[in-house]
Amino acid sequence: MIELRNVSKKFSHFDAIKSINMKIHKGEIYGIIGASGAGKSTLLRLINLLEIPDQGEVEVNGQVLTKMKSKELRKARKSIGMIFQAFNLVANKTVYENVLVSLELANYSRNKRRSRVEQCLEFVGLKELMKKYPAELSGGQKQRVAIARALATSPDVLLCDEPTSALDPNTTAEILSVLKEINEKLKVTIVMVSHEMDVIKSICNRVTVMANGEVYQTLSIQPKGIQNLQNSPEWFVEQLGKGGEFHA
């Protein structure tokens, strides 16, 4: 489904990615984990050529993206959805318009646009917030809009760049279940970058651990399911350890 062959990327004199090979199969939820600066985000962004590799080939769905002219590449990108840590919604467009724009870009037939937008927003559970602007939404709701936007054109692949890192534990769990549902119901291959172990463990089938721009190891894991992540005050106190109570 996705194949990187001897891909490398330099930023001025820093080797962000050092000749990486990677294969991701159809239908997988594939995790990429590592410390800050390990190159995990760069690796993800190489898949849809948001970063152009200095060397090597990138193949998605049988098409070699690195050999494409810009027009073909733009077409190919329409079947690769992407969501981001900062959501990256257009703040001056409503929820409806944010999803609509992705259909406009894909030349989706005009009279089906409205129903498609509604269908996608229904899927992420936000249909009633269609007329709101992003500033009026919570973080979790914004990420749902971003997911609806990425799914509108029925992509085969969804790239997720730290999708839950700006969210609290409960909202993280909600977003992860949406992603899992997308994978199961819509048969979308998911590649997810995260630095949070719990996030990776909960839904990924395979994980690449990255360090210093290289693949340290790739492992198959049994996804342990989305834990009922909590953020009640009792839970926080429990996690912190019951130290002596503080008296002022």
Partner 1 sequence: MPEILLQYEDEIWRSIGQTFIMVGISILAAIIIGLPVGTWLFLSRKGKLMENPVVFSILNLLVNIIRSFPFLLLVVFLIPFTRLIIGTALGTAAATVPLSIIAIAHYARLVEQSLLDVPKGVIEAAVSMGASVREIIFKFLFVEARSGLVLGLTTSIISFISYSTIMGVVGGGGIGDFAIRYGYQQFKTDLMIYMIIIMVILVQFIQFAGTTISRIIDKR
Nearest C-alpha neighbor of 201 from the set 2, 29, 25, 47: 29
| Nearer of residues 1 and 50 to partner 1, judged by Cβ | 50
CB of 233 to partner 1, least distance (A): 33
Q: What is d(CA 150, CA 78) in angstroms, rounded to the nearest whole number?
A: 9
Distance CA 117, CA 95 (A): 10
CA angle 46, 161, 154 (to 5 degrees): 80
Site for partner 1 in 17-56 (CB under 8 A): 48, 50
With respect to partner 1, which residue has the nearer C-beta, 91 or 197?
91
Question: What is the per-residue binding string for partner 1 in 55-84, x denoting contact by CB under 8 A?
Answer: ------------------xxxxxx-xxx-x
- Three-state DSSP class for residue 181: helix
Binding letters toward partner 1, positions 105-144, x by CB under 8 A: xx--------------------------xxx---------
Phi, psi angle pair for 233, to nearest 5°: -60, -35
Give whichever of 50 and 129 is closer to partner 1, judged by the CB atom: 50
Of 163 and 169, which has the nearer Cβ to partner 1?
A: 163
In this complex, which beta carbon is closest to partner 1, that of residue 86 or of residue 221? 86
Are 139 and 75 a contacting pair, CB within 8 Å?
Answer: no
The continuous run of DSSP H or E covering 128 comes out as none
Work out which of 6, 92, 138, 231 binds partner 1, going by CB under 8 A: 92
Least distance (Å) from partner 1 to the CB of residue 95?
A: 11
Choice from 1, 59, 61, 101 touching partner 1 (CB under 8 A): 101
CA distances in angstroms from 29 to 137, 203, 205, listed in the order given: 28, 7, 6
- Rounded Cα distance between 112 and 132, Å, is 22
Binding interface with partner 1 (CB under 8 A): 48, 50, 73-78, 80-82, 84, 86-93, 101-102, 104-106, 133-135, 146, 149, 153, 159
